[in-house]
Structure 1
Amino acid sequence: MKARITGVATYLPERTVSSADVERRIEGYAPHRGIVERLTGVRRRHVAGDDEQASDLAVNAVRELDHSGTDLLIFASASQDMIEPATAHIVAAKLGLSCPVFDVKNACNSMLNGIQIAEALILSGAHRKVVVCAGEIPSRAIRWRVRDRAQFADSFAGYTLSDTGAAVTVAADVERGIFYRDFAADSTAWGIGTLPGGGSAHPRDLEYSYFRGDGRALRRAFEAVGPDIFLNALKRTGLTWDDFAVVAVHQVALPYLRFLAEVLDIPEDRLVVSLPEHGNCASTTLPLQLALGGWSPGDRVALLGLGGGISTGVMLAEM
């Protein structure tokens, strides 16, 4: 028995905002015009409506899939509607589902870990069909009033983020499915990029309700971890990137994507470059690239995850 990704769907809010619009909205400090797109390659990102919650974005994506017969729903997202209850309950209620539910959270690798858990539960025989979904609304944690250049740099990652929803169905299959997975973490680097508010450390201080991070330090941390987890996937399976229809890579900035693709020797025609037109979609990035990519049933796809904390992950699947 295997666990196969049988469906992929995304929800992209209609409203888009350009990087120029983002720069114009910043108050108190005037960044150099064009700096966001120049440093990251992001031209525009999606912004949810004021009346939309993270659960709504996930629900809209799930509704694009055949979710009949679902016996488990996992909400796997960096965003959430509230601290309690699990946002998965809210998603299930809006969909009219009565199956067991729970949340998974691991920054931008949340959905990849959600699929990992779905596969394990299917292989154990506990479930037959699992919906893994996410609703990302990072736009609500962006600092718009900026004191100075240092605070702008500390808040910079937020200006690339996009509101998106995604969902995948994972079901038992006797013929094909996920055939390799590996995950790693360097948790000593957890403090490089944070959204500190809302937990026990900073429960009510509004100052901690914005994204904070050091992009250069984050890149150095991932470079220190190295590419072995991705290269080992090829060595252990005897495959090359040319054996995959799509190689989906989490994307935060085009210069780092190019660097990683060069280090891993990924052919350009296998990459789906989602960042310029969709921004950093957090945990929904990989399913978005699957939805945009050109693959057919039976094709192999590779999912390469990078997440704050920091964590890395790779999953290879036959669709």
Structure 2
Amino acid sequence: MPGFTAGHSRIAGLEIYLPPARLDTAAVERRIAESSPGFRVPRGLIARVTGIRSRSVMADSEQASDLAVNAAAKVLAGCGLQAPDVDLLIFASASQDMVEPATGHMAAAKLGLGCPVMDVKNACNSFLNGLEVADSLITAGRYSRVLVVTGESPSRAVRWTVPDFATFASSFPGYTMSDAGAAVLLERAEAGEAEAAAHTSEGILATAFTAQSRHWSVGTLAAGGSAYPRDPEASYFTMDGEKLKDAFLDLGCGILHSTLAGLNLEWSDFAVVCVHQVSAPYRDIFAERAGVPKELLVPTVEDFGNLASASLPLQLKLAVDAGRCGPGDLVALVGLAGGVSLGMVVVRL
């Protein structure tokens, strides 16, 4: 059975870092054409299929840990905290600086932290799973204050030299991706017994995840592990879009509905519902299948691209800044990821 846990931590701080350099979709098509003699992307195809207009691109001098650190430093400053105030850092990202050691060490060193660290990796659900781990550890009494960070650097794995349409199609995910950093500070949430029973206190109310791992091979970035330790061809994103769609259909939406039922909630009880966005059309299709009212969504993929695990914290940050949600409001973070997995975190701000 899929896991369902009730948490006892609250979001004390949330920040995003977007590299200033931007790359619009027309420029992506031009770069492919310039790098691929004899092959040209049909003009406007990427925009028509994905709805993406622009994306962020990190500087050559930046690493995944730098993106996370930029966001984390803003969180600590905003909360008035110093390095000794953090009990644990979790680097939760599909990206990493290197295979060994954990990228959490690089991020902690740059922030001047002296606490334990760990990495959590689950494709685009990495950050969501990082929140689950942090919430569980806080609930268990192991830590009181946990910094969950992500630094997504997918621009380093884009194939620009394309010999034919088949290669272009399998490499297509890379042309949707965007670089970003995000950080959330979780703290122990103290609530009275009556509040907790009624789920009226602030904090993480539930986390729930499910997976169909037999579909792991439909989308990969294979380089760097034991299977392809040094193969340059394995250093690019590859994906079968149709098989990935079928894999997500196989997951269904049961975990979302059972989580809501367990909390005695409906989608209409939420101020916003943040859904991971790989493209504008698929976001809308998924929301319709899951029964999420369109007005509760926070569209981001059009102007920011697919930010992997940073997608959900970006949506929440934009919604908060726009006044769409605030203290006392319910928000849902719904994640979809290669592998494949589906999960949800329900939070009262």
TM range (shorter): over 0.9
Whole-angstrom distance in 1 between the partners of 2:219 and 2:91 = 22
1:291 matches 2:317 = yes
Matched with 2:273 is 247
Provide, for residues 149-190 of structure 1, a one-character-per-residue CA deviation record: whole Å limited to 9, x for no partner.
000000001100000000001110113211111111111000
Matched with 1:278 is 304
1:177 matches 2:203 = yes
Whole-angstrom distance in 2 between the partners of 1:123 and 1:37 = 44
Matched with 2:196 is none
SS in 1 for 2:132: helix
Task: Please report how far the alpha carbon of residue 226 of structure 1 lies from its aligned counterpart in structure 2 after TM superposition.
Answer: 0.8
Matched with 1:193 is 219
Range moving further from structure 2, 59-68 or 194-203: 59-68
Whole-angstrom distance in 1 between the partners of 2:227 and 2:168 = 23
Aligned residues: 319
Task: Please report how far the alpha carbon of residue 268 of structure 1 lies from its aligned counterpart in structure 2 after TM superposition.
Answer: 2.0
1:91 matches 2:127 = no
Provide, for residues 238-270 of structure 1, a one-character-per-residue CA deviation record: whole Å limited to 9, x for no partner.
211121111000000111111111112212221
1:105 matches 2:131 = no
Range moving further from structure 2, 22-31 or 123-132: 22-31
Matched with 1:258 is 284
From 164, 170, 175, the counterpart of 1:154: 170
From 103, 126, 139, the counterpart of 1:123: 139
Whole-angstrom distance in 1 between the partners of 2:95 and 2:339 = 15
SS in 2 for 1:65: helix
Whole-angstrom distance in 1 between the partners of 2:309 and 2:87 = 23
Matched with 2:10 is 4
Provide, for residues 194-243 of structure 1, a one-character-per-residue CA deviation record: whole Å limited to 9, x for no partner.
00111111111111100000112111110111111112222221211121
1:300 matches 2:310 = no
1:64 matches 2:74 = yes
Contact 2:86 / 2:115 at 8 angstroms: preserved in 1? yes
Whole-angstrom distance in 1 between the partners of 2:12 and 2:273 = 17
Whole-angstrom distance in 2 between the partners of 1:131 and 1:207 = 35
Structure 2 residue runs of 5 or longer lacking an equivalent are 1-6, 192-201
Whole-angstrom distance in 2 between the partners of 1:214 and 1:33 = 22
Contact 2:284 / 2:294 at 8 angstroms: preserved in 1? no
Structure 1 residue runs of 5 or longer lacking an equivalent are none
Task: Please report how far the alpha carbon of residue 299 of structure 1 lies from its aligned counterpart in structure 2 after TM superposition.
Answer: 1.1
- Alignment root-mean-square deviation, CA: 1.0
Whole-angstrom distance in 1 between the partners of 2:49 and 2:258 = 30
TM-score using structure 1 length: 0.98
SS in 2 for 1:309: coil
Matched with 1:309 is 339
Range moving further from structure 2, 240-249 or 109-118: 240-249
Task: Please report how far the alpha carbon of residue 92 of structure 1 lies from its aligned counterpart in structure 2 after TM superposition.
Answer: 0.5
Matched to 2:327, the amino acid is P
Whole-angstrom distance in 1 between the partners of 2:327 and 2:12 = 9
Hey, which bits of structure 1, 4+ residues long, moved more than 4 A?
none
Whole-angstrom distance in 2 between the partners of 1:229 and 1:32 = 39
Matched with 1:267 is 293
TM-score using structure 2 length: 0.90
SS in 2 for 1:224: helix
Provide, for residues 32-53 of structure 1, a one-character-per-residue CA deviation record: whole Å limited to 9, x for no partner.
0111110011110000001000
Provide, for residues 131-162 of structure 1, a one-character-per-residue CA deviation record: whole Å limited to 9, x for no partner.
00000110010000001000000000110000
